[in-house]
Amino acid sequence: MTSRVRPQNLHTLNSATFGTMHATKCSEPIVDVLAFEELFLDVRSNLRPGDTVSISRLSDGDVMKARVLEHCTVLITQKAADLIEFRLIGEILYVDAAKPEPVAAPEEPASLEVAPDPNGGFVARRVTDGQVEKHFKSKAAAERYVTDYGPKQAA
């Protein structure tokens, strides 16, 4: 069931003598809302010809947690005691309702070990595949690298 825009849901975005912008929210499909002729009757005292009203359909009543599902802007073209005429400006914007893809968990950092280098010195290499990360002249420097930087090196 489509209802009228309530005064507490019509927010004035800028105040001007002509072309004032307003915004409101709804919970029903915008196509159905726009088909309701008496949509703006309860707020007719706030609207004048030339004003625009942005209408957003939200996924939830709580605007802090809601997601915009649809959005449109209408132009007020005529105002009378029992009638507010309006026209759609452009198209209704349908926001993609697909859920965002889950983010993959980061890989575990590679475990490093110190090993002697056949060419002399020592290397810090990955335990899993044996790939050499860095060459060192001393075993102490290689061990310090593994202790300090080993967990930060990604596979």
Position 49 scores a pLDDT of 94
CA distance 144 to 95: 53
Q: Which residue has the higher pLDDT, 97 or 70?
A: 70
pLDDT tens, residue by residue, 9-59: 899 999 888 899 999 998 888 988 888 888 888 898 899 999 999 999 888
Whether the predicted model's global pTM rises above the 0.75 cut: no
User: Under a CB-based contact definition with an 8 Å cutoff, are residues 90 and 73 in contact?
Assistant: yes
Residue 21's pLDDT is 95
pLDDT at 73 over 90: yes
pLDDT tens-place string over residues 103-153: 665 666 668 889 998 888 999 888 888 888 888 888 988 888 888 776 654
Note the pLDDT of residue 82. Answer: 86
> What three-state secondary structure class fits 126?
strand
Q: From CA 132, how far away is CA 113, in angstroms rounded? A: 10
